Amino acid sequence: MDKLASMKMFVRVARAGGFAKAATRASLSTAAVSRAIQDLESNLQTRLFNRTTRQISLTDAGQRYLVHCERILNQVDFADAEAKGASAAPAGRLRIHATASFGQHYLMPLLAQYTSQFEDVSVDLVLSQRTPDLLEEKFDVAIVVAQSLKDSSLVSQRIGHTRSVLCASPRYLAQRGEPRTLADLEQHTGLQLNLQDMPAAQWLFDDEDAESFRVPKAAPLTVNIAEALAQAVQAGMGIGMLPIPTAVQGIRDGSLVVVLPDVRTLPYNVFALYASRQYLDAKIKTLVEFLREAVPQKIAEYEQALDAAQARRDRAMACVE
């Protein structure tokens, strides 16, 4: 038997004061209503109504059961209303996963804007260098930076694309010389950023003649955090491919130099992953819509900052010469 439906029928009969009235209000036959109550009593092994030929009345057990049923059904109605509201008004805790560098440089400032716009949403942001199992680990959204995504049942929305730049320290270039072509890289030491969704020991370029460049010898350092790689590059250990936000400050202060500035690296897509399009929670929907507009703008800001820092360096070098 459907216990919830039986409880609703019991409450309906108790409020109507009879089977016939309850049947009319429910558009059912009196026999069907009477049978439903009999089945409920049989299941409970308790008589809920005293019956005479003219009327019915609640037993003591029925009166107590009515109080519980009304409270339970009210809670069910409240839960239904709250769940329906989740698709209309963003509210509650939003659990997000992102890689450390992207989360630090892009998501943090943008989430400040999002939460100020949607004050009923609180954010739990987890940063790590992997793609989580959204369902198993109970994440609402994962932000993934990758060339492409593996097939899965998850919904993906492309919210932008970003790229990296090859960098070295002035000290390293003074000792080893500055590469002028992609082929020159073979004579240099390459440091590696090892991420789950990016190819290891390989630099990808948006160039017809050299779509990819595999570092020819074992890297003296492999690390999985971009900011740590930047420190190694600044220390003169070799050339590394750094996300633009990670490289900008070093280029501004002169501790980093862009190598082969005229050769663009292949951009990486930025994806928002979530479980399902159907009955999408409003906080997930509004976040993805917000990021689709805000992330490209933020990426463009960092691109402009890189161009400005590079232009200042070029002017300074021209003055020295």
Domain spans of the chain, in order of start: 3-86, 92-162+269-303, 164-266
For residue 110, the 8-state DSSP code is: H
CATH 2.30.130.10 assigned to 3-86: no
Decide: pTM greater than 0.75: no
Which stretches of 197-267 are assigned E, i.e. beta strand? 202-204, 212-214, 222-223, 239-243, 257-258
The CATH class for the domain spanning 164-266 reads alpha beta
Q: Give the number of C-alpha atoms closer than 13 A to the C-alpha of residue 216, restricted to the C-beta side.
A: 8
Contact 58, 49 (CB under 8 A): yes
Mean pLDDT of the chain: 86
Per-residue confidence (pLDDT) for residue 321, from 0 to 100 = 55
| Token output for 229 | 């790689």
Residues 6 or more apart whose CB falls under 8 angstroms from that of 256 comprise 167, 168, 169, 230, 233, 234, 242, 247, 250
pLDDT at 76 over 90: no
Contact 122, 92 (CB under 8 A): yes
Per-residue confidence (pLDDT) for residue 246, from 0 to 100 = 93
CATH 3.40.190.10 assigned to 92-162+269-303: yes
Instruction: Name the CA radius of gyration of the chain, rounded.
Output: 32
Distance between CA atoms of residues 196 and 172, nearest Å: 28
Report which of residues 24 and 208 the model is more confident about.
24
Could you give the percent of the chain with pLDDT greater than 90?
40
Q: pLDDT, tens digit, for every residue of 258-315?
A: 999 888 888 889 999 998 766 678 898 899 999 999 999 999 999 999 988 888 877 7
C-alpha distances out from residue 53 to 10, 18, 30, 56, 57, Å: 19, 11, 14, 8, 12
